[in-house]
Amino acid sequence: MTKDILVGDELPDWVGAKEFYQKYDPKEVIGRGVSSVVRRCVHRHTGQELAVKIIEITAEKMTAEQLEEVKSATLKEIQVLNMVKGHSSIITLIDSYESTTFIFLVFDLMRRGELFDYLTEKVTLSEKETRSLMRALLEAVQYLHSRNIVHRDLKPENILLDDQGLLKLSDFGFSVQLPPGQKLRELCGTPGYLAPEILKCSMDETHPGYGQEVDLWACGVILYTLLAGSPPFWHRKQMLMLRMIMEGRYQFSSPDWDDRSDTVRDLVLILSVLACIRMYGRYRRLRPLTREVLARDPYSVRGIRRLIDGCAFRIYGHWVKKGEQQNRAALFQNTAKIMLLGLEELEA
């Protein structure tokens, strides 16, 4: 077993990781993250092929603050994964081990990889295939929400496919259990999939916060993208893309939507109209410009909006993305139950 086969360019902590290496034999790299690497691994006694996510928790490549964030997020992820274990459309955490330098998370091996890569290869998916994938995703999200869990980072990169093409939701690093009646305010996720509520929380201290609905916004992003093959809200300049999300500027352009059925158009249109009504209702409740109004919704004032855009990189610069091609967002917001009903219409 070579050094490269183990953990990138670093040797593992043999004392703390002894149990993992006695049980599993790590093989080639099948994925990489900022502070982690994913390898195929083999159960030494049964020969079963699995995947192990090896998360580095050393101070050599991270500040003390970053190190603590990675440790905390990983422990929370393990807790959530144990809570949702057993759902057919959610990745199963099989084992977990921790040493002083690495955390090992053993999962099912998803041979077909990320939905993001699959979509990149196919460009667009048929309505039938989209319906199947979205049903599985929405059922997984509904399951999470029934347990008061918000994922907060739904995107094709965090959706995996097995060798039969079945979907499993993964990467719960940003997920959190949210008690009923409470709201979140943290700025986290991937820019192209963020709901306006998350962006507004970062700009307005008086904003009431956000909840489970942000996951459904991301589901809408994914639904649109699978059907159109391109993002409805995208710009090479991230600040302009975020403005498009905040203002709800998008279109069903030709030829992307020319060959789509009336049923799927109706589903997308209904979700969009409901989201627009919600946004318009908030706009109507605004009062004449005062200190309080400015504090509550500074982005609604053109001059302030320009100032915000000019400084936006300070807020979003720390986010990690695979590349600009994943900057996808859409104007969809509803509940998992209603979206599932829409998919049932497609099946009829």
Q: Do the Cβ atoms of 19 and 97 come closer than 8 Å?
A: yes
| Distance of alpha carbon 46 from alpha carbon 43, whole angstroms | 6
| Distance of alpha carbon 147 from alpha carbon 149, whole angstroms | 6
CB atoms within 10 A of CB 334: 20
| Distance of alpha carbon 110 from alpha carbon 158, whole angstroms | 12
The residue written with tokens 């994914």 in the block is 222
Name the 3-class secondary structure at 161. Answer: strand
| Distance of alpha carbon 108 from alpha carbon 94, whole angstroms | 7
The residue written with tokens 């009431």 in the block is 208
Strands (E), the chain: 24-32, 36-43, 49-56, 93-98, 102-108, 113-114, 149-150, 159-161, 167-169, 176-177
The token duo for 323 is 């590349």
The β-bridge relationship of strands 93-98 and 113-114 is: unpaired
- DSSP lists the bridge partners of residue 90 as 169
Assess whether 153 carries a catalytic annotation. yes
The β-bridge relationship of strands 149-150 and 113-114 is: unpaired
- From the list 153, 171, 215, 297, the catalytic residue is 153
- Cα-Cα-Cα-Cα torsion 315, 320, 323, 325, nearest 10 degrees, comes to -70
Sign of CA dihedral 119, 123, 124, 128: negative
Residues taking part in catalysis: 153
